[in-house]
């Protein structure tokens, strides 16, 4: 049985590399050095794909500029196409969180692409004197422009899927808003009876607020289109050929069908992480809104016999190991927990962004982990909320209507005709005696006729009261 390893070396020494691995010695060092989250870069397919796009754009530009031999460049381009197609993802083995500002990730891509290119030309893995990860695949590049460019591209692609999940959730809320548009219920402020509304209005409002988040995310996505490709180490374009930044950016735009913009100040663009902070803030804002909505859903479904009991949630699983028949609102609960996770990650992003020093922020890997984890988790949570909860909600219409008519809160609609003081006196009498508003207003004090009462307390007037002088 032959040797299952090959030997590769760098200026630090030799390393054994699994013979079937397309990564090389520098990737192996990164894998050995950084076992932090237990989550390899392969877990985020969009980032691997994005690295393929960036390296392909770089190779095309360097070929056109005469910096790479055409045969070598085409082999590199072919290897990049395999990454873009979703192949070789398992070869990206370094941990998400790592020292070195992402150098291990960049070298992981360089080595995989180099070895795939070598094989395509009939050479063995590790024959770096023919195609070298640093001298050829990484020509005119640095981790400090490759990593953030690929990161931004991956975020743009990942956010597209997340936005679609939010749009579908918005659609479900709107659909329930239509279904429940004639369900009368009591609106509440301070958890106390306020004024009537329809259950449909409540669900429609949730849909509107989620729709606002799609707009905010789209705005941040536009900011992510500004990149520093060609800036190399600190923004001075050292080792990059004249015209390379512009040409590589042009190719990246054409390959991805995303209009990327080369930063006007590449020194600033290399060190600035403000766009990530803004994106994280938007993700936190959405999480905050979802937490509020899920808390409302839990309240409205509480009971069923000793709570609000206005809506029924799909019964997903038994709710207790000791209390028979109990069913809990497990889906809103899990969405809340996911929201709290994202809110915590926002602090991580904020601290990491503020930790940049001089010409580089070396904390970008943890920003990468936090943002990808946030988006991935929230997308799953949003889809779960829609399919396992919202779409299956039913209303207890008779119960909610009876609560409205038995509430003292509805006296507010009489304030224009009876005045605040008299309405307050009537409400107090009803509260102390247990009498109904109808009995006091119509039968005892004869302040309104039955016909007028029926008009004022009709469904349409209760949810959209007519103004009376």
436 is catalytic: no
Query: Dihedral through CA 320, CA 310, CA 314, CA 374, nearest 10?
Result: -90
Which helix or strand (DSSP H or E) is residue 384 part of?
helix 364-388
Provide the 3-class DSSP secondary structure of residue 14: strand
Q: Are 41 and 30 in contact (CB under 8 A)?
A: no
How confident is the model at residue 321, as a pLDDT? 55
Taking alpha carbons only, the member of 53, 73, 47, 54 closest to residue 62 is 73
1.10.3470, 1.10.40, 1.10.10, 3.90.550: CATH of 412-463: 1.10.40
**What is the structure's pLDDT at 1?**
40
Pairing verdict, β 226-227 and 261-262: parallel
Q: Are strands 5-10 and 13-18 parallel, antiparallel or unpaired?
A: antiparallel
Answering whether pTM is above 0.75, one says yes
**411 backbone dihedrals φ, ψ, rounded to 5°:** -65, -20
HEC sequence for 234-271: CCCCCCCCCCHHHHHHHHHHHHHCCCCEECCCHHHHHH
Q: For 315-326, how does the pLDDT look when each residue is reduced to its tens digit (9 = 90+)?
A: 876 766 566 567
| Cα–Cα distance for residue pair 359/144, rounded to 1 Å | 10
What stretch(es) of the chain map to CATH 1.10.275.10? 5-139
What is the tens place of the pLDDT at every residue in 428-448? Answer: 988 889 888 888 898 889 988
Instruction: Return the pLDDT at 91.
Output: 96
3-state helix, strand and coil shares in percent for the chain, rounded to the nearest 5: 60, 10, 30
* pLDDT score of 422 more than 80: yes
Can you name the residues that pair with 186 across neighbouring β-strands? 196
Per-residue pLDDT, averaged over 412-417, amounts to 85
Task: Out of 104, 161, 253, 320, pick the active-site residue.
Answer: 320
pLDDT tens digits along 192-208: 888 899 999 999 999 99
d(CA 398, CA 406): 12
5-139 CATH fold = Fumarase C; Chain B, domain 1 (1.10.275)
CA–CA separation, 229 and 258 (whole Å):
14
Q: How many residues does the chain have?
A: 469
Q: In the chain, which residues fall in CATH 1.20.200.10?
A: 152-226+261-397
Predicted local confidence at residue 448, as pLDDT = 87
Which of 354, 404, 389 lies closest to 173 in space, CA to CA? 389
Q: Is the pLDDT score of 220 beyond 90?
A: yes
Considering the domain 152-226+261-397 in this protein, what is its CATH number?
1.20.200.10
pLDDT in tens, 246-273: 999 999 999 999 999 999 998 988 889 9
Please report the pLDDT score of residue 270 as a whole number.
87
Which pair of tokens denotes residue 220?
């941040």
pLDDT confidence of residue 320: 64
How many alpha carbons lie under 13 Å from residue 338 in its C-beta half-sphere? 25
Structure tokens at 226: 């500004």
Give the side-chain half-sphere CA count within 13 A for 314. 13
Residues of the chain with CATH 1.10.40: 412-463
């Amino acid at each position: 049985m032959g040797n299952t390893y090959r030997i590769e070396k760098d200026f630090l020494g030799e390393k054994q590399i699994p013979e079937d691995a397309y990564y090389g010695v520098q990737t192996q060092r990164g894998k050995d050095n950084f076992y932090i989250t237990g989550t390899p870069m392969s877990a985020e397919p969009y980032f691997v794909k994005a690295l393929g796009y960036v390296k392909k754009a770089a190779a095309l530009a360097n070929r056109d500029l005469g910096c790479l031999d055409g045969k070598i460049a085409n082999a590199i381009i072919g290897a990049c196409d395999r990454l873009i197609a979703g192949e070789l993802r398992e070869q990206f083995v370094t941990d998400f969180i790592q020292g070195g500002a992402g150098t291990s990730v960049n070298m992981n891509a360089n080595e995989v692409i180099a070895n795939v290119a070598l094989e395509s030309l009939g050479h063995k893995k590790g024959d770096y004197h023919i195609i070298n990860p640093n001298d050829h695949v990484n020509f005119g590049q640095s981790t400090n422009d490759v990593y953030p460019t690929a990161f931004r591209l991956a975020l743009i692609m990942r956010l597209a899927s997340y936005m679609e999940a939010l749009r579908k959730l918005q659609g479900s809320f709107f659909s329930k808003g239509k279904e429940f548009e004639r369900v009368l219920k009591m609106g509440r402020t301070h958890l106390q009876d306020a004024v009537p509304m329809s259950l449909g209005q409540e669900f429609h409002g949730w849909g509107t607020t989620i729709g606002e988040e799609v707009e905010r995310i789209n705005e941040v996505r536009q900011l992510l289109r500004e990149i520093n490709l060609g800036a190399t180490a600190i923004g001075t374009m050292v080792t990059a050929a004249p015209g390379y930044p512009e040409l590589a950016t042009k190719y990246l735009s054409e390959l991805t069908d995303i209009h990327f913009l080369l930063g006007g100040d590449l020194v600033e663009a290399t060190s600035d992480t403000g766009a990530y902070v803004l994106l994280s803030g938007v993700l936190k804002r959405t999480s905050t809104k979802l937490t509020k909505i899920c808390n409302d859903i839990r309240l409205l479904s509480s009971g069923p016999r000793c709570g609000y009991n206005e809506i029924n949630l799909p019964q997903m699983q038994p709710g207790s190991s000791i209390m028979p028949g109990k069913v809990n609102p497990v889906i809103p609960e899990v969405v809340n927990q996911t929201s709290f996770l994202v809110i915590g990650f926002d602090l991580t992003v904020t601290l990491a962004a503020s930790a940049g020093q001089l010409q580089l922020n070396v904390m970008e890997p943890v920003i990468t982990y936090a943002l990808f984890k946030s988006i991935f988790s929230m997308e799953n949570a949003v889809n779960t909320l829609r399919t396992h909860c919202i779409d299956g909600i039913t209303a207890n219409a008779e119960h909610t209507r009876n609560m409205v008519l038995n509430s003292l809160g509805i006296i507010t609609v009489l304030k224009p005709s009876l005045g605040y003081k008299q309405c307050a006196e009537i409400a107090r009498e009803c509260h102390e005696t247990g009498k109904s508003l109808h009995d006091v207003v119509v039968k005892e004090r004869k302040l309104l006729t039955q016909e007028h009462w029926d008009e004022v307390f009709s469904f349409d007037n209760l949810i959209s009261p007519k103004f009376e002088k």
